[in-house]
Every structure is written in C-alpha cells, then in structure tokens.
Amino acid sequence: MAYLPASVSNCSPTDTPFGALVRLKCKAEPAAGQVDADVYFSLYDGVGSSRSAFDHTVPADVPVSLRVCPAGPDRSDYRSPDLKKAGELACWVDASNNAPYIVWTRDDLGVMGVAVAPVGTKLKRLWDVWLKVPISQRPDSSPTPS
C-alpha cells in the first residue's frame, strides 16, 4: 500500500491473477472533467514475473512503437524522469467492448498496473487519469518513451 499514489482510493484485495502475490482494485480520483477509472495493482516476485504478466495481459496485436499513447494502440518501454528504464507501457481500446486500457510495469518494484475506463471512453481521457496513477516516487511526473 505504501507504493500506491495518492490519486487512488478505495483499494481492496481482489482476485489474484496467476503468478501475482497480491492484487488490489482501486478507484482513480478524477480531476474535474476526467473519467472515473478502475485501477488494478498486482505485486509480483520480481521484474521477470511482472513483465511476463504484462506480455500475457497486452493483446498480441498491440504494436511496438516509440510514440507510446495517447494516440495508441501501442506499447513500449518507458523511462522515469531521471531517464532510467522504468518499465513497459501499453495502451489500446478493447475491440470486443470498446473500453480503453492502459497497462504498465514498474520494474524496480515488480508491480504491474492496469487502468480501465468505462466502455466508450476515449483513450486520451483515460491517459489523462493515468498520468496521475503510476506507482512512482514522483506520481506527478510523466514517463518518457525510450
């Protein structure tokens, strides 16, 4: 819980995906005009496990790109504000239900986050919420594509 950003609340344990030690379901606290989103945080036993979970969560047809959201769909590594590799990031809109998803890992903590907004929400609107919810020592900073 200590790693969660201040912009999420109402966190509670939920079903734990294969390989995760624990998973929490939280609500993003939207600023005025932003979308309400569910955010899931899963803790793994290391970077290998969190990256494997990322690969299993992100659809295979989400292309690798350097632009990395909000134009999406795309996926890439991202860097922290001090330019160290921080993890992976992917964005897409689910073809079956038209809900936007953003999935990211935080390599140094072995954590994966999944943000999902209501059906029909534009990916850009979820991106604005996501900028406030990555697990980070500086949650107000934006990631830099690698």
The per-residue pLDDT string of the chain (146 residues; one tens digit each, 9 = 90 and over) reads 666 777 777 889 999 988 999 999 988 766 655 678 888 999 999 889 999 999 999 999 999 987 777 777 889 888 776 767 888 999 999 989 999 999 999 888 899 999 998 898 888 888 877 776 666 443 333 444 44
For residues 21-55, one letter each, b for 16 or more C-beta atoms within 10 angstroms of the residue's C-beta and e for the rest, the string is eebbbbebbbeeebbebbbbbbbbeebebbbbbbe
Q: What's the pLDDT at 65?
A: 83
Q: What's the pLDDT at 1?
A: 67
For residue 70, whether the previous peptide bond is cis, meaning omega lies within 30 degrees of 0, is: yes
Q: Does domain 8-137 have CATH number 1.10.10?
A: no
Q: Yes or no: say if 52 and 29 are a contact pair by the CB < 8 Å rule.
A: no
Cα separations (Å) of 99 from 22, 92, 105, 126?
Answer: 24, 9, 20, 10
Q: What's the pLDDT at 138?
A: 35
Q: What's the pLDDT at 108?
A: 86
Domain ranges of the chain: 8-137
Q: What's the pLDDT at 126?
A: 85
